Chain A
């Protein structure tokens, strides 16, 4: 991929500068979806750093068999908050942020459907996050029962402590959930109602399809977590008995309600990542996306099947055999639409000349790592295997291959890919590549050892373990520290390029998406005039489009395939 020569790069359209120079708006209450998107992304990145710091403390504890770095309650608090922050304050809201930035641009809208609601959704995130993290300051420390907060463990609070870590945990997760629901209403309405003329459903980019599927899942499944947490809160503070086994309550019902959301939550996190692959891979292999329609429908397919798989988290929770069999089959079914996706990505880059820029490296790395994450997922869907490795590091390894090696890599791909669009400047390619290789090596060093550790029987959620597990643990810990270091070139690159980077053209990757047809960064209302869409979204490889001139959505009349 060539960056255009420096004469062509400087595009001085007035509207873009207006947005770029006014940095104060990023600190203020704005209703512009682009400002809100950036606010989301920067805020959640700070939470990502905090979550990563907690993870490094955990790895520091686990480098030696005895528990000597932190004490037990603090260790419990560390892994509880690490999981909670990474899921509820990093990946899910970051996806909301990047979707916020891109979806209106991609569908040709001037803004989201409800801009004020959009701003409110964002401004609920920072206070909830600060509230959650501030629970470290409580005398009894933060919540200690893991990010799933199973009763009766989560209800074991010393009496006479009405405001405890668990209480704060529930309140902040409910607040973040309300913010997500409002966001989901906004996204779904935007995608249904705000599309530009001619933007039919099958002319939407796969990223928009993925966001639509993920946000529909938020709407259908997230309320069940909210409901469960409200009941848990009442059990904790008002003396109700829903989940207290000693008083006739039933903690298994909590597990059902919790996983009814929290399994699909994995797809809420992963679907936008799949969408990012579908945008980045075609752009850097100059090929049309293979099987566009099947990939679009597969997004919805993953969403629908994933609603019916939650019991596979409860194979060891006294679940009757017929239910185990049923949910084993549905869980394995998820592999079908997911396989369609992976096949589509592979076929897109098949026999093409790859341009290995940083976004492409991250996308390919993420998609490749998804192979291992996905295959271990199918293994875990099988009841006998799941019972064998239940509650071991195998689960931790599998989960992190999905959420870090696939989704977070996709997020980095997205950041690099759309960085010129968002800031109007190019990032430094060399630093980007250093970041990629450090991340890729670090992530595999960290999370691969967890798979053999789990097979050998090392249990999770423990701060001290048998000495025979130490070898792999040292590898994992060193990998974890490397992963921590890998974030430094990224931060330096982002901040430096934002301030001093080379000016980017409107379409540096010569991509075909609608978001590249406006200025970088886009003006307040996105487009000078609303485009009329007349062709499908991926026209790479067509000699007409693969040369210098980017395709023009306004002019091209007879080019629909």
Chain B
């Protein structure tokens, strides 16, 4: 290699990486010629993604019910004396905490990929705290509301949608705690860390669902 030659960095520019995202994904997850059964990590992540796809349809059916009821009953949506869920600062902070936790858990997973286990544990712990904060915040919000589960359609839909989502947040937090505990067992993550990747995927899923629920329940005011 000559000294005078300027080296061009051959790693693909971000745009190129995105252009190749779909072909790369297809190559990774649609092994057309067969014979990929030894890739246990890829297989498990594929299965988990398929499961999440199916899980999102349950949410979609709830959202469909909500939108359908809301459109046909816009006039008597709120029973007399009920103001409905309020877009307070408290709710906004809660939402920001939950959504920003996605940007904490991703570096956590990446640092485990690069064997920085200490960094992983700290970032993972922060995610657990953020998730728990959201759960406690939702509990406080529920206790302050002036309507209950059987107070008209607004009560039914609000508690079922947020409750079902909260159940998923709780599941995510329990998954994360399990993964954190497992990280202290020596040699546990040497053969790959499917559990951590799955928990990360699950957490992103829970966050994306919340974006939709937040817009529908709080921002869509009649």
Cβ-defined contact, B57 with A223, below 8 A: yes
Q: Does B46 contact A (CB under 8 A)?
A: yes
| With contact pairs A185-B47, A192-B29, A220-B54 given, residues A257 and B61 touching in the complex (Cβ less than 8 Å) | yes
Contact among B31, B39, B62, B157 for A227, CB-based, below 8 A = B62
- Stretch touching chain B among A28-36, A233-241, A368-376, A460-468: A233-241
Closest residue on chain B to residue A181 by CB atoms: B54
Distance from B185 Cβ to chain A, minimum over Cβ atoms (Å) = 20
Please name all residues of chain B whose beta carbon is closer than 8 Å to the beta carbon of A113 when the two chains form the complex. 43, 47
Q: Does B69 contact A (CB under 8 A)?
A: yes
Please name all residues of chain B whose beta carbon is closer than 8 Å to the beta carbon of A153 when the two chains form the complex. none
Distance from A399 Cβ to chain B, minimum over Cβ atoms (Å) = 24
Cβ-defined contact, A223 with B46, below 8 A: no
CA distance A113 to B31 in the complex (A): 14
Q: Does B146 contact A (CB under 8 A)?
A: no
Please name all residues of chain B whose beta carbon is closer than 8 Å to the beta carbon of A344 when the two chains form the complex. none
Closest residue on chain B to residue A107 by CB atoms: B34
CA distance A239 to B160 in the complex (A): 12
Most chain B CB neighbours (cut-off 10 Å) among A110, A227, A239? A227
Cβ-defined contact, B46 with A192, below 8 A: yes
Cβ-defined contact, A250 with B47, below 8 A: no
- Chain A residues 211-226 with CB under 8 Å of chain B are 219-224, 226
CA distance A29 to B46 in the complex (A): 26
Please name all residues of chain A whose beta carbon is closer than 8 Å to the beta carbon of B32 when the two chains form the complex. 200-201
Distance from B162 Cβ to chain A, minimum over Cβ atoms (Å) = 13
Cβ-defined contact, A248 with B76, below 8 A: yes
Q: Does A148 contact B (CB under 8 A)?
A: no
Q: Does B92 contact A (CB under 8 A)?
A: no
- Chain B residues 121-179 with CB under 8 Å of chain A are 149-150, 152-153, 155-157, 159-160, 164
Cβ-defined contact, A220 with B57, below 8 A: yes
Closest residue on chain B to residue A202 by CB atoms: B32
Distance from A263 Cβ to chain B, minimum over Cβ atoms (Å) = 15
Cβ-defined contact, B160 with A231, below 8 A: yes
Q: Does B27 contact A (CB under 8 A)?
A: no
Closest residue on chain B to residue A240 by CB atoms: B156
Q: Does B83 contact A (CB under 8 A)?
A: no
Number of interface residues of A (CB under 8 A): 48
Number of interface residues of B (CB under 8 A): 44
Cβ-defined contact, B69 with A250, below 8 A: yes
Cβ-defined contact, B39 with A193, below 8 A: yes
Cβ-defined contact, A257 with B37, below 8 A: no
CA distance A222 to B55 in the complex (A): 10
CA distance A131 to B157 in the complex (A): 29
Q: Does B20 contact A (CB under 8 A)?
A: no
Q: Does A256 contact B (CB under 8 A)?
A: yes
| With contact pairs A193-B37, A231-B160 given, residues A114 and B72 touching in the complex (Cβ less than 8 Å) | no
A-B contact count (CB 8 A): 139
Contact string, A89-121, partner B, CB cutoff 8 A, digits 1/0?
Answer: 000000000000000000111100110000000
Cβ-defined contact, A234 with B156, below 8 A: yes
Contact among A109, A184, A192, A196 for B54, CB-based, below 8 A = A184
Cβ-defined contact, A197 with B69, below 8 A: no
Cβ-defined contact, A194 with B64, below 8 A: no
Contact string, B43-59, partner A, CB cutoff 8 A, digits 1/0?
Answer: 11011001101111111
- Chain A residues 188-216 with CB under 8 Å of chain B are 188-189, 192-201
Closest residue on chain B to residue A113 by CB atoms: B43
Contact among A188, A194, A219 for B37, CB-based, below 8 A = A194
Q: Does A228 contact B (CB under 8 A)?
A: yes
Q: Does B113 contact A (CB under 8 A)?
A: no
Cβ-defined contact, B54 with A253, below 8 A: no
- Chain B residues 70-92 with CB under 8 Å of chain A are 72-73, 76
Q: Does A249 contact B (CB under 8 A)?
A: yes
Cβ-defined contact, A239 with B54, below 8 A: no
Closest residue on chain B to residue A216 by CB atoms: B50
CA distance A248 to B157 in the complex (A): 12
Q: Does B116 contact A (CB under 8 A)?
A: no
Contact among B43, B44, B69 for A249, CB-based, below 8 A = B69
Closest residue on chain B to residue A182 by CB atoms: B51
Q: Does A533 contact B (CB under 8 A)?
A: yes
Closest residue on chain B to residue A111 by CB atoms: B37
Contact string, A377-418, partner B, CB cutoff 8 A, digits 1/0?
Answer: 000000000000000000000000000000000000000000
| With contact pairs A197-B35, A226-B58 given, residues A241 and B68 touching in the complex (Cβ less than 8 Å) | no
Cβ-defined contact, A248 with B152, below 8 A: yes
Cβ-defined contact, B69 with A196, below 8 A: no
Most chain B CB neighbours (cut-off 10 Å) among A193, A197, A220, A223? A193
CA distance A253 to B62 in the complex (A): 10
Please name all residues of chain A whose beta carbon is closer than 8 Å to the beta carbon of B57 when the two chains form the complex. 219-224, 227
Contact among B30, B51, B56 for A192, CB-based, below 8 A = B30
Cβ-defined contact, A196 with B34, below 8 A: yes
Distance from A97 Cβ to chain B, minimum over Cβ atoms (Å) = 20
Cβ-defined contact, B33 with A186, below 8 A: no
CA distance A238 to B42 in the complex (A): 42
CA distance A184 to B44 in the complex (A): 14
CA distance A454 to B221 in the complex (A): 49
Distance from A114 Cβ to chain B, minimum over Cβ atoms (Å) = 6
Closest residue on chain B to residue A198 by CB atoms: B34
Q: Does A431 contact B (CB under 8 A)?
A: no
CA distance A54 to B76 in the complex (A): 45
Please name all residues of chain A whose beta carbon is closer than 8 Å to the beta carbon of B150 when the two chains form the complex. 238-241
Q: Does A242 contact B (CB under 8 A)?
A: yes
Cβ-defined contact, A193 with B64, below 8 A: no
| With contact pairs A188-B50, A228-B61 given, residues A239 and B35 touching in the complex (Cβ less than 8 Å) | no
Cβ-defined contact, B54 with A223, below 8 A: yes
Please name all residues of chain A whose beta carbon is closer than 8 Å to the beta carbon of B60 when the two chains form the complex. 223-224, 227
CA distance A494 to B156 in the complex (A): 52
Cβ-defined contact, B35 with A196, below 8 A: yes
Cβ-defined contact, A219 with B54, below 8 A: yes
CA distance A239 to B149 in the complex (A): 7
Cβ-defined contact, B65 with A231, below 8 A: yes
Cβ-defined contact, A195 with B35, below 8 A: yes
Closest residue on chain B to residue A220 by CB atoms: B57
**17 additional A-B residue pairs with CB within 8 Å, beyond A197-B33, A231-B65, A239-B149:** A185-B47, A189-B46, A192-B46, A193-B46, A195-B31, A195-B35, A195-B37, A198-B35, A223-B55, A223-B58, A226-B61, A234-B160, A242-B69, A247-B152, A248-B69, A249-B156, A253-B65
| CB<8 Å pairs between A and B, sample of 16 | A113-B47, A185-B50, A185-B51, A195-B37, A197-B35, A200-B32, A223-B58, A224-B57, A226-B61, A227-B65, A234-B160, A240-B159, A241-B152, A241-B156, A249-B156, A250-B73
